[in-house]
Amino acid sequence: MIKAIKTFFCKLMLKAGGWEIDYDLNDQGRKFIVIGAPHTSNWDFIYALPALHLMGIHNLRYLIKNQLFFFPLKYLFYWTGGIPVDRSKKNELTANLQKMIAEKEEIYLLFPPEGTRSSVERWKTGFYYTAIETGLPIILGYMDYKERKLGFGEVFQPTGNFNKDMEVIQSFYVKKTPKYPEKFNQSIYLPKET
C-alpha cells in the first residue's frame, strides 16, 4: 500500500512538471557508475528522485558535499542514499567506494561530476577512474529541460583511453539542455597528452 502511494505521488510530480522518463537498461547488469548531468539547479534532485523510484532504482548511492549534511536535511540525504564528501582534504573516498561496490549485489553509484550547480571549467573525473578501477560500466544519466526528458542514455564501458572515452561522454551531454544553460560548460574535460 505504501509503495503504491509513493508511486502515485512520484507519477503525479513528474506529470505536473511535464517530464517523460527515458531509459532502457536491458538487463545489462546490477552494478553501475551513473553520471548525473547537467546539474545547474536544485530542481534536478527534486525531479530525479521520483524518476529513479519509477525506474525501479532502489539501490542508489550518490556523492554530495558534507556541508549539506546538517539538520534536518541530513536525514533526507542519508535516506535517499547520500554519501557525504569532504572536498577540503584528502581522504580514502575511492578505496571506500570500491569496498562498498564489492560488498553490494546491486548498486547504482551516482556522481554529479560538475560537483556544484554553478558553472565549472571542467568536470571532476572521479566517476571515470572509479569505473576504470572497478570495471563497472557508466550510465549516462541526464535531465533535458528543453525536451522535458530525464533518465538514462546509453550504458558506456570505458576503454581506459581517457581522451577517447571523455569525447564520447562529452558528445552525449552537449546535446542536453539544463535548466540554466549559462551555467553549463559543454567542454567537460581537458585532453591529456598521450
Tens-digit pLDDT profile for residues 93-145: 778 888 888 898 899 999 989 978 888 899 999 899 999 999 999 999 999 99
Q: What is the pLDDT of residue 63?
A: 82
* pLDDT score for 73: 83
pLDDT grade for 76, boundaries at 50, 70 and 90 = confident
In the chain, what are the domain boundaries?
A: 2-183
d(CA 171, CA 188): 10
Q: Is residue 159 exposed (0-12), middle (13-18) or buried (19+ Cβ within 10 Å)?
A: exposed
Residue 183 is predicted with a pLDDT of 94
pLDDT digits (tens, 9 = 90+) for 50-69: 999 899 888 899 888 888 78
pLDDT at 88 over 80: no
How far apart are alpha carbons 181 and 155 in whole angstroms?
A: 25
